[in-house]
A and B are shown apart, each in its own frame.
Chain A
């Protein structure tokens, strides 16, 4: 079945450092890929998405590019802030091949120190 593997955490960075959280996936079809963010005590919310190969999703300074050749969707940000401290989840969903199923990674906890 489909699977998502995320870089193990936790990750601790200083403010203004560069961030990369690795995400690779296994899927039989051509899924849509997502990054969700979970702030303390809250539900998940969409950070960015990409629906086909070579698409780049971006939001709030975060970016991720759908790389079909390496089956990856790494999350990047050039300069993190304390307010970016949260848990980040990579996810995939494929309506055409596996309608209804959604697969999430284990989550990566990011802590940004001032």
Chain B
């Protein structure tokens, strides 16, 4: 089954404790992206990757890192999480930029 898999689905952590949210797709898509969803703000793009080893900032990249060492994986790293990063996070992949996006189930992160 074609899918985008995020882990974990739920995470509660403390300020400053590094964490990684994993994202994997099995569709051989070139393009992957991370978003955060906040009430009243819709979806905002954090980082995206056009292909392996090619990443770039979206609209709200501060406090986040990403890497794309393999085509299927695109982890989101929070080196020192802060409470304002409490949000619902989505990973998505597409055949290429500009085409239909397939989304993961989401990761609800709470930073206390």
B99: contacting residue among A32, A89, A104, A105, CB under 8 A: A32
A100: contacting residue among B4, B35, B42, B50, CB under 8 A: B50
A-B contact count, CB below 8 Å?
69
Contact A106 B48 (CB under 8 A): no
Q: Would you give the shortest CB distance from A70 to chain B, in whole angstroms?
A: 21
Q: Which stretch of B14-22, B61-69, B70-78, B90-98 is in the interface?
A: B90-98
A101: contacting residue among B40, B45, B102, B104, CB under 8 A: B45
Measured CB to CB, the residues of A under 8 A from B are: 6, 31-32, 34, 36, 42-46, 49, 89, 91, 93-96, 99-107
Chain B, interface size category, equals 20 to 34
Flag whether B86 is at the interface (Cβ < 8 A). Answer: no
Q: Please classify the interface of chain B as helix (H, G, I), strand (E, B), loop, or mixed, using the class held by over half of its residues.
A: strand
Contact B105 A104 (CB under 8 A): no
Q: A43-B106, A101-B48 are in contact. Are A107 and B42 (CB under 8 A)?
A: yes
Q: Which residue on A lies nearest to B106, using beta carbons? A: A43
Q: A44-B90, A45-B103, A100-B50 are in contact. Are A106 and B40 (CB under 8 A)?
A: yes
Contact B50 A106 (CB under 8 A): no
Q: Would you give the shortest CB distance from B18 to chain A, in whole angstroms?
A: 25
Q: Which residue on B lies nearest to A45, using beta carbons? A: B103
Q: Determine the chain B residues whose CB is within 8 A of the CB of A96 once the complex forms.
A: 98
Q: Determine the chain A residues whose CB is within 8 A of the CB of B41 once the complex forms.
A: 106
Contact A102 B45 (CB under 8 A): yes
The 4 closest A-B pairs by CB, nearest first: A95-B98, A43-B103, A106-B42, A104-B43
Flag whether B24 is at the interface (Cβ < 8 A). Answer: no
C-alpha gap A96/B102 in the complex (Å): 20
C-alpha gap A96/B103 in the complex (Å): 22
B100: contacting residue among A46, A101, A105, CB under 8 A: A46
